[in-house]
Structure 1
Amino acid sequence: MNATTGAVGLDRAAFRDLEGSFRGRLVRPGDPSYRQDRRVWNGSVDRFPALIAHCAGVADVVAVLRFVRRTGLELAVRSGGHSFPGHSVCDDGVVADLSPMKGIRVDPEARTVRVQAGVLLGEMDRETQRFGLAVPSGVVTHTGVAGLTLGGGIGWLMRKYGLTVDQLLSVDLVTADGGLVTAGATRNEELFWGLRGGGGNFGIATEFEFRLHPVGPVVLAGPVVWPMAESARVMHFYRDWIEQVPDGMTTAVIHRRLLPSPDLPRELHGRPVVMVVCCWAGEVDEGERVVRPLRDFGPPLLDLCAPRPFVEHQAMLDPSFPHGHWYYFRSCNVHRLGDRVIDITAAHAPRSASPLTSFPVFHLGGAVARVGAEETAFDGRDAGHTFSLNATCATERGFAQERQWARTFWTALEPFETGVYVNFLMDEGEDRVREAYGTRKYLRLRALKEHYDPGNLFHLNQNVVPGRH
């Protein structure tokens, strides 16, 4: 492979056959859009595929799989391209890019929505909110629905309605042999279990059907902010406050430096802060009563928790996670914010050097914990919180130092870890993947993998390795 051009020889006969049956767009090294098309969200990932296949529909997905099997090239699957470790692009292989598959069909009477695999969270929200409905999903609107869902889906509605996988009614999946199957509560039930948290291990998901819930269009949401120096005091208060809040309130504690914004006084730009971000998905007046103790604690540096459109709140974190920044993550679940966990957090937060680094600590529980532990492949429903330590730089400059900050912070938290959310993993090895599911669920997922993908064609993911590998 030529690392400058990405040039690699393709089987000409196989490529001609693919061209003849492909309705979408095929991009190779040297094509005008190749440089941009190979990029993914995480700017630290810089890979050169031999072919990028922008799939227009299921037939194109099947054609790409046939081509990959014929040529033996490695396969990466991309929808939103938000894979933290960059699994949605590869060197020398083929990227099956599902981003052109943008179909969304809302049934407001049945309160369901069908979504193709190229849809982003913000695109889904825009359609469903026209009817005052929503699928509980993630916290950055340019994330792909597919990847988020297959790993679990934590977000601002989870304590009231559950994870994204808890809304899933069916999944259409193209398997390694090119077959198309539908999995749901009464069809291919074991596969449906595995798809609700097991990631892209079993095939290429092309369409999802979700249950919808009444949300908004206005929610009480936003951050209440204090100086970062008060981190320990704020987190101790927060720990006691969340024990009393109803399930309609989902929150996250975020440490960061304030990004410049027209809404902020200039003297606050870059100020290190700790904030509690709230989302109350119910009557605003009731939410005001719930959030009142938080407003009264302090006093806060800023109080930006206010009635706002749900779609506006969903996009609140978008400026913190733009395409092209260099990202590195470490993550863990903890049972509760014990004194030692709070001390570690307060000590490590100000040691980050980058003005772009932030890390949320999401409060779980509520509806997430009311789903039976064995009902889905997603694990960790008994966790109290999940840390996502996001080391972020605009470019490579300073990235090694920031990455080490995240590793050191995570090491300090490791004695309190109770598991890890699979969507927050980097390339950390099979043991960490097993830890994300627990041994019993991992072995059950391995049996599914043996059935649907014994050759491990779909291995660029948080891989469940078939027994023969």
Structure 2
Amino acid sequence: MNTIDATALGGLREALRGSVITPRDPGYDAARSIYNAMIDRRPAGFARCEDLADVQTVISFARDTGVELAVLGGGHSGPGLCLVDDGLVLDLSPMRWVRVDPDTDTVQVGGGSLLGDLDHATHAVGRAVPSGIMSTTGVGGLTLGGGHGHLTRRYGLTVDSLLSADVVLADGSYVTASRESHPELFWALRGGGGNFGVVTSFTFRLHPAGTVGAAVTVWPVDRTPEVLRWYREFLPAAPDVLTGFFALLAVPPGPPFPEPIHGQKMCGVVWCYTGDLSEEHLAQVFAVVNEPAPPAFHFAAPVPYPALQTMFDELLRKGLQWYWRGDFFETISDTAIDVHHKYGENLPTGLSTMHLYPVDGAAHETDADDTAWAYRDALWSGVVAGIDPDPAHADAIRRWCVDYWTDLHPHSMGGSYVNFIGHGESPDRVRATYRGHYDRLAAVKRAYDPDNLFHANQNIPPAPD
């Protein structure tokens, strides 16, 4: 790829309503600082786009100069695919806006918005879009990967609520993709990642979710086998109004957890309930947590949905070292349970964790071929994450994550949620993620980005002519 000279960047700066940040500008280090501090890349420049015209200008500049291009939204990409050394970063972060239409129960969201922006605006009308579990995540990256979280069992994946997307394509043109307009592109955007263009806005269907029943239950880590055997049977049979992701963790040193268990290794479930929130009914719903073993701690209460979405923001703040890998699972086998128990007993740091997110319920009601998401038959999307603030521990958390994933992967379905593919994994992992949809995605790529301009992602190269 070509490099950018100062004269060319100066011309780009003059052409944009937004700003251009280079290594000589005071805000450069802040601009290249993303969620995962393990990523240390030095782009030649950041083009901070204020609007659609800015996005078109930057794409045309990258195409005409041959410079390598990356797209930055929320900056939560685990492998840091939103940054590229010596290339140009198209930064959507200024495009943070949300417009709620209560009459149609829809919401339009700017391409640089975060989940917290979306949740704040939609909560005002008692609604939500099913999305992730942290308010600092970018709407764009999460949606283009498929999107799962607390509301998946009730309302489906994020892409199941997507009605349309405004997209700037590799040739600089602008289209709106929906079921009626550019339907193949719309199909590919719903799970195919950032391969097909730059989405400047998303329009979603809204769902009732003003206040939810939030709960956290933890058991001593030596109870992991009993709890997981119970969980694998209980949750898929539970009504869709109840969900809960399983986790291995060290108890954080703060509320709501009592001080005597701070720092202890535990297994647990973080719950979300969207049914009757009366105190008596919530107590009945969560009485089941005593079935596998007596919990070390249990807390349940009605909370605003945005409060549940921000529960982990401070704990897992920007600037930590991260290394993660994921897989889909159709069952949690006894052998897999042994693997979880082994690595849960040996968490390498206080923030390292493993999560199993339910992706059944309403997510199974969408036909397998209706979106690019290829694992409609999965019950869980799992992620192993080594996390720590100290760069000196980077090798330890990476080794624990890779060893854990290596032992667990034979018990998986073979592919991963695309947003959980870690840095350094082979292109075969991308193909496994899309199963039989891969060739169709490659054909869409050929139609909309034949020169693979958008390749700083979990890349799907264009199909050959």
Classify the TM-score, shorter chain: over 0.9
Counterpart residue number, 2:251: 258
Please give the secondary structure, in 2, of the residue aligned with 1:56. coil
Counterpart residue number, 1:376: 371
Counterpart residue number, 2:104: 110
Counterpart residue number, 2:431: 434
| 1:235 matches 2:228 | yes
Q: CA deviation at 1:423?
A: 1.0
Distance in structure 1 (CA, Å) of the matches to 2:86 and 2:59: 16
Counterpart residue number, 2:339: 344
Counterpart residue number, 1:221: 214
Residues 326 and 383 in structure 2, CA contact (< 8 A), matched pair in contact too: yes
- How does the TM-score come out when normalised to structure 2? 0.96
Q: CA deviation at 1:18?
A: 1.7
Please give the secondary structure, in 1, of the residue aligned with 2:369. coil
Counterpart residue number, 1:126: 120
Distance in structure 2 (CA, Å) of the matches to 1:179 and 1:208: 17
RMSD, aligned CA: 1.6
Cα shift readout 1:147-184 (whole Å, capped 9, x = no counterpart): 00000000000001000000000000000110001100
Please give the secondary structure, in 2, of the residue aligned with 1:319. coil
| 1:244 matches 2:234 | no
Please give the secondary structure, in 2, of the residue aligned with 1:246. coil
Counterpart residue number, 2:206: 212
The AA in structure 2 aligned to 1:318 is: D
Q: Identity over the aligned pairs, expressed in percent?
A: 42
Counterpart residue number, 2:21: 27
Residues 167 and 198 in structure 2, CA contact (< 8 A), matched pair in contact too: yes
Distance in structure 2 (CA, Å) of the matches to 1:351 and 1:254: 14
Distance in structure 2 (CA, Å) of the matches to 1:431 and 1:268: 42
Distance in structure 2 (CA, Å) of the matches to 1:183 and 1:301: 49
Q: CA deviation at 1:370?
A: 1.0
Counterpart residue number, 1:201: 195
Please give the secondary structure, in 1, of the residue aligned with 2:391. coil
Counterpart residue number, 2:395: 400
| 1:97 matches 2:91 | yes
Residues 236 and 360 in structure 2, CA contact (< 8 A), matched pair in contact too: no
Distance in structure 2 (CA, Å) of the matches to 1:394 and 1:154: 26
More moved, 93-102 vs 416-425: 416-425
Distance in structure 1 (CA, Å) of the matches to 2:448 and 2:282: 46
Residues 258 and 272 in structure 1, CA contact (< 8 A), matched pair in contact too: yes
Q: 2:294 aligns with which of 295, 299, 311?
A: 299
Q: CA deviation at 1:295?
A: 4.4
Counterpart residue number, 1:4: none
The AA in structure 1 aligned to 2:29 is: R
| 1:271 matches 2:268 | no
The AA in structure 2 aligned to 1:462 is: Q
Q: CA deviation at 1:381?
A: 1.1
Q: CA deviation at 1:204?
A: 0.5
Q: CA deviation at 1:377?
A: 0.2
Cα shift readout 1:319-371 (whole Å, capped 9, x = no counterpart): 34211111011111111112111111111211121111011111221001111
Please give the secondary structure, in 2, of the residue aligned with 1:398. helix
Distance in structure 2 (CA, Å) of the matches to 1:363 and 1:356: 22
| 1:423 matches 2:397 | no
Please give the secondary structure, in 1, of the residue aligned with 2:130. coil
| 1:76 matches 2:70 | yes
Residues 256 and 274 in structure 1, CA contact (< 8 A), matched pair in contact too: yes
Cα shift readout 1:272-321 (whole Å, capped 9, x = no counterpart): 11111110112214554332212455321111122212111111122342
Distance in structure 1 (CA, Å) of the matches to 2:411 and 2:237: 23
The AA in structure 1 aligned to 2:39 is: V
Residues 333 and 411 in structure 2, CA contact (< 8 A), matched pair in contact too: no
Cα shift readout 1:22-76 (whole Å, capped 9, x = no counterpart): 1011111121111111111110000111111111011111111122122211101
More moved, 193-202 vs 338-347: 338-347
The AA in structure 2 aligned to 1:135 is: V
More moved, 67-76 vs 82-91: 67-76
Q: 1:461 aligns with which of 441, 452, 457?
A: 457
- How does the TM-score come out when normalised to structure 1? 0.95
Residues 84 and 426 in structure 1, CA contact (< 8 A), matched pair in contact too: yes
- Residues 262/292 of structure 1: CA separation in 2 closer, same or farther (3 Å cut): closer
Structure 1 residue runs of 5 or longer lacking an equivalent are 1-7
The AA in structure 1 aligned to 2:240 is: D
The AA in structure 1 aligned to 2:165 is: V
Cα shift readout 1:197-247 (whole Å, capped 9, x = no counterpart): 01110110100000000112x211121111111111111122232243101
Please give the secondary structure, in 1, of the residue aligned with 2:429. helix
Q: CA deviation at 1:258?
A: 1.1
Cα shift readout 1:415-435 (whole Å, capped 9, x = no counterpart): 211121111112322211010
| 1:183 matches 2:160 | no
Distance in structure 1 (CA, Å) of the matches to 2:333 and 2:250: 25
Cα shift readout 1:390-419 (whole Å, capped 9, x = no counterpart): 011112212212211111111111221112
More moved, 440-449 vs 333-342: 333-342
Residues 102 and 117 in structure 1, CA contact (< 8 A), matched pair in contact too: yes
